[in-house]
Amino acid sequence: MRLNEEWLTPENQELVPLSRWQNTVNLMADLFRAPAAFIVQHGAGGFRVTIASEQEENPYPSGGIIPSDTNIFCRKIVETCKPLYVNHATADPEWETNPEVSQDGFNSYLGLPIFWPDGLPFGTICVMDFSVTHYDDTYIQLIKQFRDLVQTDLLLVQQFEQIRAMALNDELTHLFNRRGFITVAEQRVQLARRNNNGLALVFMDVDGLKGLNDNLGHETGDFALKALARCMKNNVRGSDICARLGGDEFIILAETDQTDALKNICQRIEHDFCEAMPDNAPERTGVSYGIVQINDMSVSLECWMEKADKLMYSQKYFKRAVVRPAPD
279-316 pLDDT, tens per residue?
A: 888 777 899 999 999 999 889 999 999 999 999 999 98
Q: Is the pLDDT of residue 13 over 90?
A: no
Q: Is the pLDDT of residue 323 over 60?
A: no
Question: Hey, what CATH topology would domain 168-323 get?
Answer: Alpha-Beta Plaits (3.30.70)
Q: String of b and e for 134-163 (b: at least 16 CB within 10 Å)? A: ebeeebeebbeebbeebeebbebbebbbeb
Distance CA(202)–CA(195), nearest Å, equals 21
Q: Is the pLDDT of residue 328 over 60?
A: no
The answer to whether 170 touches 177, Cβ cutoff 8 Å, is yes
10 versus 224: which is more confidently predicted? Answer: 224
pTM for this prediction: 0.54
Residue 61 identity: P
- 248-to-76, 163, 176, 233, 289 alpha-carbon distances in Å: 53, 23, 14, 16, 12
Give the end-to-end CA distance of the chain in Å, rounded to a whole number: 68
192-214 pLDDT, tens digit each = 888 888 999 999 999 988 888 88
Q: For position 85, what pLDDT does the model report?
A: 98
Q: For position 157, what pLDDT does the model report?
A: 76
- Let me know how many helices (H) and strands (E) the chain has, helices first: 9, 10
Q: Is the pLDDT of residue 324 over 80?
A: no
Tally the C-alpha atoms within 13 A of residue 263's C-alpha that lie toward its C-beta.
10
φ and ψ of 10, to 5 deg = -60, -25
Residue 146 identity: F
Q: Is 292 exposed, middle or buried (0-12, 13-18, 19+ CB in 10 A)?
A: buried
One of 2.60.120.380, 3.40.920.10, 3.30.450.40, 3.40.50.2300 is the CATH number of 3-162, namely: 3.30.450.40
Distance CA(66)–CA(109), nearest Å, equals 17
45-57 pLDDT, tens digit each = 899 999 999 999 9
Q: Is the pLDDT of residue 2 over 50?
A: no
The answer to whether 65 touches 45, Cβ cutoff 8 Å, is yes
Mean pLDDT of 136-164: 87
Boundaries of every domain in the chain = 3-162, 168-323
